[in-house]
Structure 1
Amino acid sequence: MSSEQGRVSRDIESLVHPYTNLEAHLHKGPLIMERGEGVYVFDDQGRRYLEGMSGLWCASLGFSEPRLVEAATKQLSKLPYYQLFNSRSHGPAIDLSEKLLSIAPRSLGKVLYANSGSEANDAAVKLVWFYNNAMGRPEKKKIISRWRAYHGVTVAAASLTGLPANHQDFDLPIDRILHTDCPSYYHEALPGETEAQFTRRIVGNLESLILREGPDTIAAFIAEPVNGSGGVIVPPQGYFEQVQALLKKHDILFIVDEVICGFGRTGEMFGCDTFNLEPDIMTVAKALSASYLPISATLVSQKLYDKVVERTKELGVFAHGVTYSGHPVCAAVALETLKIYEERDIVGHVRAVAPHFQHRLRSLASHPLVGEARGVGLIGALEITQDKASKTPFDARNNIAALVQNKAVERGVLVRGIRNAVAISPPLIITKEQIDELFDGIAHGLDEALVVARQAELVQ
């Protein structure tokens, strides 16, 4: 048995792979990565791939940034771990918090750390519930999310997520979690409905849900600026403006999930800046540390925090936290990441190359398999459809989006097939030349998948 076969066998025998067809994996095995360099990763056979998904939407500075390695190493040698419980603290957490608040929306005033976006969103739910108890509103606890939303996989976060696979057989969603329309004009518009009419209708549906449940029972509304894992859904113009007016009308908190959009992805520092959002709570993770180490944060308004403080005077403690909250090594790496974004004007670079990215993305809309090309900044998706006119998707059993993904791999390009879409989210440091390499590989994947689909008589 070769060393490669041995490693594959050991993987199959020992690992549970997230978001994987586990039965198929037993026969196929993994693609094993060995190292990374810039926007590229290399497998254990030395093959190079352009990482068109930044791993999982997250490796914003690529895979070999020496300053982040140095920041981690320096902190490891000084204070490798400490905690924030019981009034303890340390420099990296303090410095990172100050920096985060200096670039975050002005409505936010305090930072609570964890390890992942899922935990950050769970913390947001708990804070909303705690806040309303402190306000003397024990019935105001329901959280409204949206279909096609993705907010994580822990029990509360997966309940907020609006994707069937995250609920099926997991006994989710839990009580007090509601869902409303996804703001996807392509998927949800009625025949003959304009984008403006569509927006008014789904915001009207949201208000109807609030009134039906009772505004005194609705605590918060949570949304990604751009739905990421739901298929890169860019909201129609005016959508968030109308939603925010509705939330203010009914005294409902606004949670903005910036786990994917945050730190430059949309062409601004946050999706909040791109879409003029004013959150009461904002969650971040992924690009916070360029994903070199796990760290997330839940940022809350001063008004909310002050009420929590008032209540803890009566209870004696704020009984929430995780062991690695604000871990000094992770915090040091995150702080260095934010410095790099600023010093290298990464947001400015995204703005400079995004028009080319979006041009190449939208040029694929004419492909026979593509029903829609959509995106903003350096995030996009291609909707894979069996029939453009009727927007009929392929049967899920055919898994054409995954086929496009797999065929792109043959050209050394990694993207992600998500249900009926192919998602694209490269490192923010990508160049125009590398964007061409990325989309040439995707075009190859589409062409090869079309051949297979025609051979199977799935398309003309």
Structure 2
Amino acid sequence: MNYLDKEMQNVWQKDKDHHIHPWTDFSSFNETGAMILSGGDKAHVTDGAGKRYLDGIGGLWCVNIGYGRQEIAQAMADQVMKIPYYSAFGHHTTQPAAELSAKLAELAPGDLNHVFYGCGGSVANDTAVRMVHFYFNQLGKPSKKKIISRIDGYHGSTYMAMSITGVKFDHIGFDIEEELVHHISCPNPYRRPVEQSLEDFCDEKIQELEDKILELGPDNVAMFFAEPIMGAGGVIVPPPGYHKRTLDVCHKYDILYISDEVVTAFGRLGHMFASEDEFGIIPDIITCAKGLTSGYIPLGATIISDRIYDVINKPQAEGALFTHGYTYSGHPVSCAVALKNIEILERENICDHVKEMGGYFEEQLHTLSDLSIVGDVRGKKFMICIENVANKETKELIDNKAKVGNRIADYCEDKGLLVRPLAHMNILSPPLILTKENIDFLVSTLRNAIESTISDLKEEGFL
């Protein structure tokens, strides 16, 4: 860290000595420490040494309106001076919590009119589980407890949310709940057999869901978790019709469908919510976070239908309460930020911008397909994954020891671009305000990084 001045070197050392980072590779962290991010403006961030980067990650899928929004800072300050916090337990509320709940009910599809708040996506999904279990208990169906989700689906890292998560790499060394949670295979069209049509592949996945329900017993299955596009599992876009058909199967067996829109909501695909507008479904529950506040402050929400609310809003016994919630449920400062964030998204027509520039983003990234290791470029709008392979015909992966995703990310970082490495893949989820010039820089930088990586891999015998 010799490039840092004395103050930043001190910060770097404190962080390395005392800050436990999420998803840390301790094999390298104890030596390299962390990059210090000290500033941000629009779609760029600045490190502790003053170097500027185009943020191709959007913080972590979430800085949708970009950095440095004075309106957000003012909304925070104004609310702090009015009332910074009050418990939402029982019969108390604040104006931002009430206003945001009404706004989310207006934006959400169908009759999803009731909102419960937590502090992030993991908690939103944990809340969904508890609510669904409570719902079926109230209906006199206490055996309906089991959860079905998908391999490579990501739903968070609290104990239950990580159990629902199907990314097996994330389970290494940790315990998960294996009695309640059951996984079906990932609907990844790129990895289907060469001879199998997209339609047959979709049929197979739908049948697998129904078979799993029948195996577990419909009276035992309570809910199905699905991201509209699977994010951290590799930006997997299921085949056409998949979502509608999985919803139909769930409702056939009185199973609630939970659409995890922690990543896809608030503009990333060009809609406030993607479930209906992009994929034509109205789920029973939507969970969201990230873009809800554009990452400016923690907030998550679990949005439920009238059907569910009309059951859970009745006492289960005389004097009984709905005993679920958090100290910071409906935090007024977080809710005020979310309201201002949504106001900006609407006022600046950011969803329309995403539809226009997101199309250009997709188109330009697909030009990388001519590179020898780029096997698949997939995703929608500002949510894209590049999957790198050793052989395009067989789709054979490059040896894990090559750390191809990290190599590409490192080359990009050197040239002023941040992209996310994920094993042999690189993921792009930038702020939604990218300009054509930003996109051109991103794609050309990524091309150069992949070309440099190909050269290294050949020289080292990985290709």
Q: What's the counterpart of residue 333 of structure 1?
A: 337
| Contact 2:247–2:283 (Cα < 8 Å) also in 1 | no
Q: Which runs of 5+ in 2 are unaligned?
A: none
* Contact kept in structure 1, 2:151 and 2:185, CA below 8 Å: yes
Distance in 2 between the 1:173 and 1:190 partners? 32
* 1:153 is aligned to 2:157: yes
Code of the aligned partner of 2:38 = E
The equivalent of 1:271 in structure 2 is 274
Q: TM-score, normalised by structure 2?
A: 0.97
Cα distance in 2 for residues equivalent to 1:314 and 1:153: 36
**What is the identity, as a one-letter code, of the residue corresponding to 1:206?**
L
- 1:110-125 alignment, distance < 5 Å: 110-125=114-129
Quote how far apart the aligned CAs of 1:4 are.
Answer: 3.4
User: 1:398 is matched with which residue?
Assistant: 402
1:54-453 to structure 2, matched below 5 A, reads 54-187=58-191, 189-272=192-275, 273-312=277-316, 314=318, 316-453=320-457
Q: Distance in 1 between matches of 2:187 and 2:319?
A: 41
Letter in 1 for 2:326: V
Distance (Å, rounded) in 1 between the aligned partners of 2:173 and 2:111: 39
Determine the C-alpha separation between the residues in 1 that align with 2:295 and 2:235: 20
Q: Does the Cα contact within 8 Å between 1:107 and 1:279 map onto a contact in 2? A: no
Per-residue deviation, 1:352: 1.3
User: 2:39: which partner in 1?
Assistant: 35
Residues 54-102 of structure 1: CA deviation (Å, up to 9, x unaligned):
0100000111111101100110111011110021101000001111110
1:228-257 per-position Cα deviation (integer Å, ceiling 9, x unaligned): 000111111111121111112111100000
Deviation at 1:315, TM superposition (A): 5.5
| Whole-angstrom CA distance in 1 between matches of 2:340 and 2:428 | 26
CA distance in 1, matches of 2:423, 2:403: 7
Structure 2 residue matching 1:111: 3-state secondary structure = strand
After TM superposition, give the deviation of residue 194 of structure 1 in Å: 0.6
Mapped to 2, the partners of 1:411 and 1:447 lie a distance apart of 14
Structure 1 residue 17: Cα displacement: 1.2
Identify the residue that residue 47 of structure 1 maps to in structure 2.
51
Q: How far 1:313 moved relative to its partner?
A: 5.2
Secondary structure of the equivalent of 1:216?
A: coil
Cα deviation 1:325-345 (Å, max 9, x = unaligned): 111111000001111111111
Deviates more, 1:155-164 or 1:270-279: 270-279
- CA drift of 1:300 comes to 0.5
Residues 114 and 324 of structure 1 are in contact (CA less than 8 Å); yes or no, is this contact kept in structure 2? Answer: yes
1:12 is paired with a residue whose SS is helix
Percent of paired sites with the same residue: 38
Partner of 1:456: 460
Structure 1 residue 428: Cα displacement: 0.7
Tell me the secondary structure at the aligned position of residue 384 of structure 2.
Answer: strand
SS of residue matched to 1:35:
strand
- The one-letter code sitting in structure 1 at the alignment partner of 2:431 is P
State the shift of 1:6 in Å.
2.5
Measured in 1, the distance between the counterparts of 2:401 and 2:142 equals: 45
Q: Distance in 2 between matches of 1:183 and 1:271?
A: 18
Q: What SS does structure 1 have at the residue aligned with 2:314?
A: helix
Q: How many residues align?
A: 458
The question of whether the paired residues in 1 share the 8 Å contact of 2:71 and 2:340 is answered with yes
RMSD of aligned alpha carbons: 1.2
CA distance in 2, matches of 1:382, 1:149: 17
Q: CA deviation at 1:3?
A: 3.1
Cα pair 2:226 2:260 within 8 Å, conserved? yes
Most deviating of 135-144 and 308-317:
308-317
Amino acid at match of 2:359: P
What secondary structure is seen at the aligned counterpart in 1 of 2:173?
coil
Give the SS at the match of 1:442. helix
Q: CA deviation at 1:175?
A: 2.2
